[in-house]
Amino acid sequence: MKKLFNYLKKSREELGKVSWPSRQTTINHTGIVIAISIAVAVFLGAIDYGLNKVLELFI
């Protein structure tokens, strides 16, 4: 049990040393990640749709 408390204490100390980004930076980066995710989804969806139509020509 002592090891667990020691681990938690050390973890808390390390988290105090972390240089956390500002709220605005976090919001900006989140927006970028969402935009890229949507762009990749649209791109892959378009490729899937196109390949599906090409295969329908042969079937």
Q: Is residue 54 scored above 90 in pLDDT?
A: yes
The pLDDT tens digits of the residues spanning 3-20 come to 999 999 999 999 999 999
Give the pLDDT mean for 29-36.
99
- Cα(48)–Cα(57) distance, rounded to whole angstroms? 15
Q: Is the dihedral of CA 41, 44, 50, 54 positive or negative?
A: negative
Smallest CA-to-CA distance from 24 within 32, 35, 13 is with: 32
- Cα separation, 12 vs 37, in Å, equals 33
34-49 confidence digits (pLDDT tens): 999 999 999 999 999 9
Domain carrying residue 45: 21-59
Nearest residue to 23 via CA among 31, 12, 15, 11? 31
* Residue 44 lies inside a defined structural domain of this protein: yes
Number of domains in the chain: 1
The reply to whether 46 falls in a domain is yes
